């Protein structure tokens, strides 16, 4: 057993080192425990079992470097209860191990190989071991439980598995789990379900399929190992087991973990085993080797992009080394294309299982943030870091939240989560402007296109909303639904946080600012915005406090510890984000100025003070618009500018609803008067500077109220009411905070009087409002519909085989999805190639095309045509949808729908399509399929006319004409359908503008960050609190 | 200003503003409904008309002719399209109609078909479209429908021996329609299986022989319901004289209402009237029938109970013979009422025939009479009744010249009717007239020689 020979030297046939397990050792395989034969043996079972032949197992212990725990490893194997276990030590080291092996386990074989990688050493068994059905790869620092080998073999037979791994625990603390098999995401990054230092409470003790197990202890069917050619040395270290198991999977072999078998691991692997750079390279290699050719076409670019984004994030996190590792991994593999191709040929040649079955075993596309954290950002390090940081934060938070104030904030956040649980666990209905978000590529393509395809098209820059959505989608690793829900629900806590920040300055820190945050968070506006699908209103709600804080700081109304430039840039960027989703948000600073001016006679604000506020507002607006450049210029185009600004909804006429901030099903009841009552009560109770602030805030309330009600008085279209009332909500929340501050500072110190009574009234009414918030949370989705038309009409997306088309939505503005255009009591909207997505939102004014479709819809309303389909056919309108409500369900319909349906039922070229209750859908028989549009001597290109459209057929430029007064016609001269290539000549113009846009935003961010660094050096804490005016 | 006064000032302003706004502002967004209905467009624009009944083959049951009357001051252009089945390409003809003039198009000139459905799309001046069907010596004239409706009722049908009751269903739309038909009889509802789920293929017209499905029934008020798709229905009744009445009547149908007016009725000297009421609901309806005689005599109103799901004929025998009269009906629930008049011997042969007309349920100030004269030598009479119980002034206007020309000014009594003899006022045949009143009136025409026909003037 002490035989040892250099590997280059031919070994004699009888040398146990070269043929340690002769074929004669391969005894018949025992039946599995569940095998009928074994059970039928009855009383003979026990004796027979003891005497039954077992498959031979060769334990391959690869010893490298000093192998400090080798003895323990061998002794544990020697203590194994498996009757036919042979131990082979591969000594891949210069150290002399034979004496140690002989001492620890005299029966073990030793084979010396040159020092090198684990894979190469382990592969030695390919030529040296024969006849044994199983190989057990064991690290030299692994201590196997005596039952482990037997349990692994038994499970291999029971589950018909080719590779089986045990549960790996810590040596010192056997209750700590180290491994229970590994999963992998689509980009080849391993993922373990167990957390760092997770306690073993048998929670992972089920036998299950895993993507791979490590060779800390790995039982492999010897024939499979031979067929696969062993480990791939080019994937070693870091991915040899992943690669082996992946290839085994491709060969239709099962890989499982049998947690009943336990081994302990010292984790004393050599430094190269922990080399993250090598591991990253080899995982990419495994990915590129084992993915099928077709799937590789998209997996490889996507993986590269994901890794690029991770690299960018690491740079931002000041971890350039890790960023370099990621990029270096791809460069390293690109430099070994030849080796990669050979490995691919070998792997794909042995493939039995298609990739779609393999993908079912992989971590699905990183659809959740948690997946992002635990997979693509290399969970082990991050979790460790986060765990450490988390403990610190938790300790700090624990101290803070033990206070009543903290508990109130926690309760508020918990209620938000409870109230929106169904939106996260279920789905956010795509009502109103909650349109689905297309893929990142589509969003970026739409954003970088010089031509906007929304509505009937226009030569206008795309809204930055698209790129913000793309970024959010990237952050959530492609999960558009999750990103959308995050944006919608996150608006409430973010807004409350902002309100708390501005509340600290205006009302004071502590309880007052907490009250501001909570009251701002519980106003029913946001819940009703979620019901109605007002995405812009929610984003505006989230950032409005930050903008107000910036303006008040720039105007000198509250102190600032930051330089003015940084304050201005911060406020402007916040305003830019809100404006990107709701264009009218840009007017918010002007509302603040107007409010200050209205209140000035009572507040005593001087003209100079007003000028300062106005100057601050102008700066914020100006820089905000600059950050959005050149999109704001799109509004200047001809057409429906009001629609482009989001002014397309029915005006609200109920003063009560406006005063109570109740614009939907949430927040009804007596509690909704709480905000007005509190505002009035606080104004009467407050004194001094606080009273002045109350008056200013009432100025903001009145201005916002008037602006909200103005469209009804003028009988015109209105912006989203929920957004218009955000300043009111913010003002009431701040007044509530001022009320709390007043009560704490002054009122409670005096005896019982009218001020105390008013304070009690305000507190009681606010309690009612809070109860309303709690009540709305019960349902779990704030009364948001569970269905939507996007889902119902999803089948229309499959109708593109005959050419591009549009859906014309008609009806009330509150049920028409997307960005509606107002026409009388009705509204209409257009979506492209289906029920619409984010790209169709915020269409530019639209010029002659919008005028044409507005005229057509007006004719329909007046029943001045029975060929409406013919009117909108050239606009590619194939379907006309008339929803009576925002989601499927029974609906009586209002006069608007009845009149529309009456008019549509008279149309001779519309065919009604049966769908669900709550919507009527008509198919336009006058719609021109692509084949027809390109026949008859001309090709109709149903985009708004522009001289920059260019048509080519067979390399020849076609004559371009205006058709129907608004669209494009290319003269083909062919009666038969022809193929025409249409391009927009001015696309090149987009790139410099885009570069300018990037430079502007980057410049602003850089300037703000530079200020921040300087500021850190010389920060002077100012007392937070109300400032003397 | 002290803090308290300042705060009080603000609070006062806010409360005052809220109260003022609540008082002065309505609580709900305003709906601005757009009126739709079978009217002549008062302004230049476009209108579409659906003419369901009629045939265009030799010896068909009802030879059809389209009559287009332009009551405006600008010319119009009509595209007449004849559909004869889903698989047959429709035939079109463009017909210009001068201001104030009437144009006629025989359907057989466009297409010879047993089941022609005619669609007329008009652009330009306000133009009314009627159609005229003829069988033997009798003819019937009636306005074409302006829109498909979900439910249409007819009251004056009969399927006794010698009667043919046809329901023409026209679907010029691109989707198939499914129609259910039932008959309200004196004995209750009849819903034969053959009349349920009648498929009207797209771009086609079909005829349903109600007399085969509900045979030998004196009173059959047909009710047609479109279950799916869109369709236009029209009914024709042909009697061969077996029950003493002979001729052809056309009815465009209508929807149930609580009030009905019939400006034209006459009994005696070969004239007989049958006023049929049909109640399609399950509840009994109390009906009051008032007769307004042209003579000084008066007839007591008749009050009766119309049982649910039943049709009955009102007894008009109390009206003195040879005295013209009008009828106004009021019911406490919606019903359908139709008058079927017949003229026989001793009237001259060319003045014999059958005429039916659904009553008027609403009045209007403006009516189109197209054509003013049915034919050269015909007797054309307008009967006008006030619908609001007040006397009104009205004028008849021709627009075929350079300027609109008032051809007559008449007064309509608060109760009773005003007759206008068009033969005296309008010598030429192809002229359209407009009746313009200062209040809500209804206008019905009766024409004889050849045959007898009654029809609504067209509001708008």
pLDDT tens digits for range B230-266: 999 999 999 999 988 999 999 999 999 999 999 999 9
| Rounded Cα gap, residues A68 and A51, in angstroms | 37
Extract the tokens encoding A676: 């007005």
State the pLDDT at residue A800.
86
With an 8 Å Cβ cutoff, are B34 and A867 in contact? no
Inter-residue contact A539 to A491 (CB < 8 Å): yes
Selected residue with higher pLDDT from B63 and B33: B63
Extract the tokens encoding B200: 């009207």
Residue A950's DSSP bridge partners are: A983
Closest CA relative to residue B157, chosen from B249, B224, B64: B249
Choose the weakest-confidence range: A898-902, B35-39, B359-363, B402-406. B35-39
B298: number of Cβ within 10 Å: 10
State the pLDDT at residue A370.
44
State the pLDDT at residue A158.
85
| Rounded Cα gap, residues A340 and A281, in angstroms | 12
Instruction: State the best of B13, B33, B148 to mutate against chain A, taking most chain A CBs within 10 Å.
Output: B33
Contacts of B26 in chain A (CB under 8 A): 653
Nearest-by-Cβ selection for B10 from A602, A902, A911:
A602
Work out the angle at residue A9's Cα, subtended by the Cα atoms of residues A4 and A15, and round it to the nearest 5 degrees.
Answer: 50
**Mean model confidence pLDDT for chain B:** 90
B283-292: per-residue pLDDT in tens? 999 999 999 9
State the pLDDT at residue A94.
81
**Does the beta carbon of A800 lie under 8 angstroms from any beta carbon of chain B?**
no
Looking at chain B, which residue has its C-alpha nearest residue A658?
Answer: B18
B205-217: per-residue pLDDT in tens? 999 999 999 999 9
Closest CA relative to residue A648, chosen from A786, A431, A811: A811
With an 8 Å Cβ cutoff, are A902 and B36 in contact? yes
With an 8 Å Cβ cutoff, are B175 and A911 in contact? yes
Say what the pTM is.
0.70
Determine the distance in angstroms separating the CA of B17 from the nearest CA of chain A, rounded to an integer. Answer: 9
Quote helix, strand, coil % in chain A, to nearest 5: 55, 15, 35
Extract the tokens encoding B333: 């629930």
Selected residue with higher pLDDT from B190 and B18: B190
State the pLDDT at residue A685.
86
**Does the beta carbon of A1029 lie under 8 angstroms from any beta carbon of chain B?**
no
Exposed e or buried b for every residue in A823-854, given b needs 16+ CB within 10 A?
A: bbbbbbbbbbbbbbbbbbbbbbbbbbbbbbbb
Contacts of A684 in chain B (CB under 8 A): 4, 7-8, 11
State the pLDDT at residue A563.
86
Contacts of B7 in chain A (CB under 8 A): 683-684, 686, 691, 694-695
Looking at chain A, which residue has its C-alpha nearest residue B148?
Answer: A906
Contacts of B230 in chain A (CB under 8 A): 905, 912
Closest CA relative to residue A722, chosen from A775, A808, A670, A664: A664
In DSSP notation, A260-297 reads EEEEEE-----GGGG-HHHHHHHHHHHHHHHS-HHHHH
Residues in contact with A170: Cβ distance below 8 Å, sequence separation at least 6, in sequence order: A176, A177, A178, A264, A265, A267
State the pLDDT at residue A897.
83
Inter-residue contact A485 to A424 (CB < 8 Å): yes
State the pLDDT at residue A394.
59
Inter-residue contact B370 to B458 (CB < 8 Å): yes
With an 8 Å Cβ cutoff, are B46 and A652 in contact? no
| Rounded Cα gap, residues A874 and A988, in angstroms | 28
Inter-residue contact A728 to A722 (CB < 8 Å): no
Q: Indicate the length of chain A as a whole number.
A: 1029
Instruction: State the best of B23, B31, B45, B125 to mutate against chain A, taking most chain A CBs within 10 Å.
Output: B31
Closest CA relative to residue A895, chosen from A871, A790, A887, A903: A903
With an 8 Å Cβ cutoff, are B28 and A653 in contact? yes
Nearest-by-Cβ selection for A653 from B18, B29, B36:
B29
Determine the distance in angstroms separating the CA of A1010 from the nearest CA of chain B, rounded to an integer. Answer: 44
- CA quadruple A558, A561, A563, A568: dihedral positive or negative? negative
**Does the beta carbon of A855 lie under 8 angstroms from any beta carbon of chain B?**
no
B364-422: per-residue pLDDT in tens? 999 999 999 998 889 999 999 999 989 999 999 998 877 889 999 999 999 889 999 99
With an 8 Å Cβ cutoff, are B34 and A903 in contact? yes
Instruction: State the best of B120, B172, B173 to mutate against chain A, taking most chain A CBs within 10 Å.
Output: B173
Looking at chain B, which residue has its C-alpha nearest residue A812?
Answer: B31
State the pLDDT at residue A916.
83
A70-92: per-residue pLDDT in tens? 888 888 888 888 888 888 888 88
State the pLDDT at residue A502.
95
Mean pLDDT for B187-203 is 96
With an 8 Å Cβ cutoff, are B34 and A863 in contact? yes
State the pLDDT at residue A24.
31
B108-164: per-residue pLDDT in tens? 999 999 999 999 999 988 999 999 999 988 999 999 999 998 999 999 999 999 999
Contacts of B46 in chain A (CB under 8 A): 864-866
- As a whole number of Å, the end-to-end CA separation of chain A is 93
Residue A35's DSSP bridge partners are: none
Residue segments in chain A with a per-residue pLDDT below the cut of 50: 1-51, 366-379, 1019-1029
Contacts of A927 in chain B (CB under 8 A): none
Instruction: State the best of B27, B29, B35, B202 to mutate against chain A, taking most chain A CBs within 10 Å.
Output: B29
State the pLDDT at residue A748.
61
With an 8 Å Cβ cutoff, are A712 and B29 in contact? yes
């Amino acid at each position: 057993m002490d035989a040892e020979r250099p590997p280059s030297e031919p070994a004699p046939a009888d040398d146990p080192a070269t043929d340690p397990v002769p074929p004669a050792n391969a005894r018949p395989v025992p039946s599995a425990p569940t095998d009928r034969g074994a059970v039928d043996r009855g009383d003979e079972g026990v004796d027979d079992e003891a005497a039954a032949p077992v498959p031979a197992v060769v334990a391959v212990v690869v010893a490298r470097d000093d192998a400090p725990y080798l003895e323990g490893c061998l002794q544990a194997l020697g203590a194994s209860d498996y009757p036919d276990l042979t131990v082979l030590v591969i000594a891949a080291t210069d150290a002399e191990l034979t004496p140690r092996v002989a001492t620890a386990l005299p029966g073990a074989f030793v084979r010396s190989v040159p020092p090198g990688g684990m894979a190469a050493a382990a592969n030695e068994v390919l030529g040296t071991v024969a006849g044994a059905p199983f190989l057990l790869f064991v690290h030299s620092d692994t201590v196997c439980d005596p039952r482990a080998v037997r349990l692994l073999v038994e499970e291999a037979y029971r589950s018909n598995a080719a590779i089986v791994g045990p549960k790996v625990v810590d040596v010192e603390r056997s209750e700590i789990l180290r491994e229970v098999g590994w999963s992998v995401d689509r980009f080849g990054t391993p993922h373990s379900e167990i957390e760092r230092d997770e306690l073993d409470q048998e929670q992972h003790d089920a036998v299950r399929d895993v993507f791979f197990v490590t060779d800390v202890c790995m039982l492999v069917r010897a024939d499979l190992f031979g067929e696969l050619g062993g480990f791939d040395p080019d994937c070693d270290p870091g991915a040899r087991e992943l690669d082996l198991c992946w290839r085994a999977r491709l060969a239709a072999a099962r890989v499982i973990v049998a947690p009943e078998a336990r081994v302990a691991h010292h984790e004393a692997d050599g430094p190269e085993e922990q080399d993250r750079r090598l591991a990253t390279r080899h995982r990419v290699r495994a990915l590129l080797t084992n993915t099928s050719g077709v799937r590789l076409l998209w997996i490889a670019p996507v993986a590269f992009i994901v890794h690029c984004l991770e690299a960018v994030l690491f740079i931002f996190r000041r971890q350039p080394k890790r960023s370099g590792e990621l990029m270096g991994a791809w460069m390293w593999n690109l430099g070994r294309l030849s080796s990669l191709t050979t490995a691919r040929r070998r792997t794909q040649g042995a493939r039995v299982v298609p990739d779609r079955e393999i993908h079912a075993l992989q971590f699905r596309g990183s659809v959740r943030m948690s997946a992002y954290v635990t997979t693509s950002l290399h969970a082990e390090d991050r979790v460790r870091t986060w765990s450490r940081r988390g403990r610190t934060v938790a300790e700090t938070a624990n101290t803070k939240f033990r206070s009543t104030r903290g508990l109130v904030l926690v309760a508020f956040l918990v209620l938000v989560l409870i109230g929106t649980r169904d939106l996260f666990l279920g789905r956010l209905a795509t009502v109103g402007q909650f349109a689905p978000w297309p893929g990142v590529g589509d969003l970026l393509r739409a954003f970088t296109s010089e031509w906007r395809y929304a509505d009937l098209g226009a030569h206008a820059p795309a809204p930055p909303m698209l790129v913000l959505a793309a970024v959010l989608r990237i952050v959530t690793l492609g999960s558009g639904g999750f990103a959308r829900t995050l944006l919608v629900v996150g608006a409430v806590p973010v807004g409350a946080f902002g309100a708390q920040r501005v509340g600290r300055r205006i009302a004071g820190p502590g309880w007052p600012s907490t009250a501001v945050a909570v009251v701002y968070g519980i106003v029913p506006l946001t819940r009703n915005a979620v019901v109605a699908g007002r995405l812009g209103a929610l984003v505006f709600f989230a950032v409005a406090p930050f903008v107000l804080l910036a303006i008040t700081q720039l105007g000198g109304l509250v102190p600032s510890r930051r330089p003015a430039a940084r304050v201005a840039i911060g406020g402007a960027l916040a305003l830019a984000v809100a404006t990107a989703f709701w264009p009218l948000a840009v007017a918010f600073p002007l509302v603040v100025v107007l409010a200050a001016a209205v209140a000035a006679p009572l507040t005593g604000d001087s003209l100079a003070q007003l000028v300062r506020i106005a100057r601050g507002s102008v700066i914020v607006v100006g820089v905000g618009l600059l950050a959005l450049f050149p999109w704001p210029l799109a509004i200047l185009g001809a057409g429906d500018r009001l629609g482009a600004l989001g002014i397309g909804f029915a005006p609200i006429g109920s003063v009560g609803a406006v005063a109570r901030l109740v614009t939907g099903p949430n927040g009804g009841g007596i509690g909704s008067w709480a905000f007005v009552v509190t505002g009035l009560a606080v104004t009467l109770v407050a004194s001094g500077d606080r009273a002045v602030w109350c008056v200013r805030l009432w100025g903001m309330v009145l201005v916002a109220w008037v602006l909200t009600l103005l469209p009804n008085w003028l009988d015109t279209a209105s912006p989203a009411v929920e957004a218009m009332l955000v300043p009111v909500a913010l003002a009431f929340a701040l007044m509530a905070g001022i009320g709390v501050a007043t009560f704490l500072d002054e009122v409670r110190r005096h005896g019982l009087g009218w001020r105390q009574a008013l304070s009690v009234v305000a507190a009681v009414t606010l309690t009612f409002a809070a109860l309303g918030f709690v009540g709305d949370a019960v349902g779990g989705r704030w009364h948001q519909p569970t269905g939507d038309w996007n889902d119902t009409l999803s089948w229309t997306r499959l109708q593109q085989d005959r050419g591009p088309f549009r859906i014309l939505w008609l009806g009330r503005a509150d049920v028409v999805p997307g960005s509606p255009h107002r026409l009388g009591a009705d509204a209409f909207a257009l979506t492209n190639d289906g029920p619409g997505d984010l790209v169709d939102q915020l269409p530019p004014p639209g010029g002659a095309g919008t005028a044409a479709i507005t005229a057509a819809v007006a004719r329909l309303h007046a029943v001045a045509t029975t060929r409406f389909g013919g009117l909108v056919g050239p606009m590619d309108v194939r379907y006309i949808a008339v929803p009576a409500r925002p989601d499927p369900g029974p609906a009586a319909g209002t006069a608007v729908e009845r009149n529309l349906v009456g008019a549509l039922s008279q149309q001779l070229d519309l065919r009604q399509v049966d769908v669900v209750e709550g919507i009527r859908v008509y198919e336009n028989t006058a719609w021109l399929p692509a084949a027809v549009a390109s026949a008859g001597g001309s090709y109709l290109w149903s985009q708004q006319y522009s001289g920059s459209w260019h048509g080519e057929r067979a390399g020849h430029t076609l004559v371009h004409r205006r058709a129907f007064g608004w669209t494009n016609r290319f003269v083909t001269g062919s009666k038969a359908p022809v193929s025409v290539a249409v391009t927009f000549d001015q696309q090149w113009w987009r790139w410099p503008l885009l570069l300018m846009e990037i430079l502007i935003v980057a410049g602003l961010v850089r300037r703000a960050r530079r200020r921040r660094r300087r500021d850190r050096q010389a920060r002077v804490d100012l007392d937070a609190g109300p400032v003397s005016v | 200003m002290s803090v308290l006064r300042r705060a009080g000032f603000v609070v006062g302003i806010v409360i005052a503003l809220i109260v003022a706004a609540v008082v002065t502002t309505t609580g709900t967004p305003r709906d601005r409904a757009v009126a739709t209905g079978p009217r002549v467009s008062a302004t230049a624009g476009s209108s579409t008309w659906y003419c369901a009944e009629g045939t265009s083959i030799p010896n068909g049951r009802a030879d059809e002719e389209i009559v287009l009357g332009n009551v405006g001051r600008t010319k119009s252009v009509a595209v007449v399209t004849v559909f004869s089945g889903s698989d047959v390409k429709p035939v079109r003809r463009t017909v210009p109609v001068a201001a104030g003039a009437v144009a006629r198009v025989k359907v057989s000139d466009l297409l010879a078909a047993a089941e022609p459905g005619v669609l007329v799309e008009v652009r330009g001046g306000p133009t009314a479209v009627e159609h005229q069907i003829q069988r033997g010596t009798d003819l019937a004239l009636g306005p074409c429908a302006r829109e498909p409706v979900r439910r249409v009722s007819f009251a004056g049908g009969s399927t006794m021996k010698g009667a043919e009751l046809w329901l023409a269903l026209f679907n010029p739309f691109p989707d198939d329609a499914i129609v259910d038909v039932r008959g309200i009889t004196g004995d209750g509802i009849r819903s034969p299986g053959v009349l349920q789920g009648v498929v009207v293929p797209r771009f086609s017209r079909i005829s349903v022989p109600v007399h085969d499905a509900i045979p030998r029934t004196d009173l059959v008020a047909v009710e047609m319901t479109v279950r799916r798709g869109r369709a236009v229905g029209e009914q024709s009744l042909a009697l061969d004289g077996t029950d003493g009445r002979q001729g052809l009547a056309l009815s465009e149908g209508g929807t149930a209402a609580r009030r009905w007016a019939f400006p034209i009725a006459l009994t005696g000297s070969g004239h007989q009237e049958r006023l049929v009421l049909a109640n399609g609901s399950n509840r009994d309806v109390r009906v009051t029938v008032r007769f307004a005689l042209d003579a000084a005599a008066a007839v007591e109103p008749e009050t009766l109970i119309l049982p649910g799901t039943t049709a009955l004929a009102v007894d008009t025998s109390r009206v003195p013979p040879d005295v013209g009269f009008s009828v106004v009906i009021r019911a406490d629930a919606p019903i359908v009422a139709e008058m079927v008049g017949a003229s026989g011997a001793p009237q001259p042969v060319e003045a014999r025939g059958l005429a039916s007309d659904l009553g008027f349920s609403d009045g209007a100030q403006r009516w189109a009479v197209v054509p003013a004269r049915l034919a050269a030598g015909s007797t054309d009479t307008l009967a006008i009744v006030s619908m609001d119980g007040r006397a009104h002034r009205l004028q008849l206007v021709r627009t075929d010249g350079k300027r609109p020309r008032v051809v007559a000014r008449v007064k309509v009594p608060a109760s009773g009717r005003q007759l206008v003899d068009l033969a005296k006022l309008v010598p030429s045949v192809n002229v359209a007239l407009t009746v313009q009143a200062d209040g809500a009136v209804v206008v019905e025409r009766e024409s004889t020689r050849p045959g007898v026909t009654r029809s609504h003037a067209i509001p708008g």
